Amino acid sequence: MEFCNDIREYIQKLKEIGELKEINKTVDWNLELSAIMKRNNDMKGPALLFNSIKDYPAGFSVLGSPVAASNKENMLYSRIAVSLGLNPDTHIFEILEKMSHINEIKPIPPVIVDSAPCKENIFTGDDIDLFSLPAPYLHGGDGGRYIGTWPIVVTKTPDNRWVNWGMYRLMVHDKNTIGGPVIPTQHIGLHFAEWKKLGKDMPFAIAFGTDPLTPILASMAIPEEVSEADIAGGYLGKPVELVKCETVDLNVPASSEIVIEGYISISETRPEGPFAEYTGFIAKNKKDQPVFNVTAITHRNNPIMPVVCTGEPVEDHLCMSVSLAAEALSQLRKKGLPVVMAYIPPSSALHMLVVSVEKHKYKGDDLARDVGNTIWAHKIGTFMPKILLVEDNIDITDINALMWTFSVKCHPEKGVVFFKDTKVITLSPYLYPEEKKSARSTTVVYDCTWPSEWEQETTPENASFKTMWSKEIQEKVLQNWSNYGL
């Protein structure tokens, strides 16, 4: 595998495969930049490197849509593949297989280096100004400028036993404070609870523009008490290089373009939001969230800030659709279920998991319930309230095939299995207020497999080119296709 050591190598690789477009015309950080990104995402266009941003000096750049979808044939997931060190035309199933084994990798601890380019410019005290960085105002209706849409947030437990890299949205309040969700069930929230118990503010560091693998790992469901830096080293086959922060006792990837350091207050909150999320909707309410007090900003000369413009699919949450499906695949296989593949359709906004199975190999009483219990017992299940269970003769990447099999094979009563009082992520737009408050709702499996008790001779068979005609006829027709004038 060929890995990109930093975002600059990644940009060069995207150029080589035709997945990057540089925009040298000056664009406004206030809605114009994001509108270009959103329109480009709708067309599945290339990643965009904005080289001239209004109100910012020459040299400050924004990389838009770093892991969004491609419209090139067999290249939908090309940016994710390259981030993982794979060929850009790697099939999604191969990517999922690769990622499904990440948590089984033997960890390699990181090493600390003395310096890194992200130390070329250091600002502390009165020199701190978050507005000196080209954070865009993304959506009309957002509560502010969001500086964090594709960062890694580094936190740790007070006793240093566990360092976490996570990915969370971050809004600029003013020149030296940020706001963002610190959700109790997420790893940042578990760390925050330990610091709060001690009565101490929690140190944090936010790294932007690292190597492309790092943010993917930060967005994955890495188990508790496991540090993403160790997993990254295991995946790369060598230790990840980290560099010490200036004002907090944390380390960040040496490949970082920009680093923001500080402390999350255990007592001070300010309203954060609204924000147009990956669900494709904007919730109009603000919510009090802990304040991130910034104590230092460091960055490279001519820094590059990665930015994701969330909204109606498909955008950069395509990457999370891969990582969540890969973990679902891993968990289902660990349970011994006859799963062939798991997949999240890009247009589902992470809300629908499709699972294909070899049902004839299933030995239990209720496959749909076993699949649902496995997924919703795991952290990843909070994102995926709906599961479509299909047999392995269906192409689960084909939305037309999925619509067909759901429409004709899922019994309106017997094929629908509900799971009451399940943990869910509160960003789902359909949730009622009381469900958002409790973070619990009903989830569902749509079973689109034939009932096991049906006799083989009475079970409907697919009427397709591959099933209704012999191999001999299929090959004859394909060989003579052009001779038919087709």
Per the CB < 8 A criterion, the answer to whether 207 and 154 are in contact is yes
Q: Which helix (H) or strand (E) holds 369?
A: helix 367-376
Per the CB < 8 A criterion, the answer to whether 136 and 54 are in contact is no
Tell me the C-alpha distance between 210 and 239, whole Å: 15
Tell me the C-alpha distance between 429 and 361, whole Å: 37
Sign of the dihedral defined by the CA atoms of residues 82, 88, 92, 94, in that order? negative
Question: Catalytic residue among 257, 272, 277, 315, which?
Answer: 277
Torsion over CA of 436, 440, 441 and 443, rounded to 10 degrees? 130
**Cα 6 to chain centroid, rounded:** 19
Tell me the C-alpha distance between 429 and 277, whole Å: 10
Closest CA to 151 of 266, 251, 252: 252
Q: Which residues contact 460 (CB under 8 A, 6 or more apart)?
A: 450
Tell me the C-alpha distance between 29 and 135, whole Å: 7
- For residue 202, give the amino acid letter: M
Tell me the C-alpha distance between 125 and 173, whole Å: 17
Closest CA to 303 of 461, 89, 40, 122: 122
Angle between helix 318-334 and helix 92-100 axes, rounded to 10 deg: 60
Per the CB < 8 A criterion, the answer to whether 173 and 144 are in contact is yes
Token pair belonging to 129: 């100004």
Q: What are the DSSP E strand ranges found in 251-371?
A: 251-253, 258-272, 287-299, 304-307, 339-343, 352-357
Mark whether 457 is an active-site residue.
no
Which are the catalytic amino acids? 277
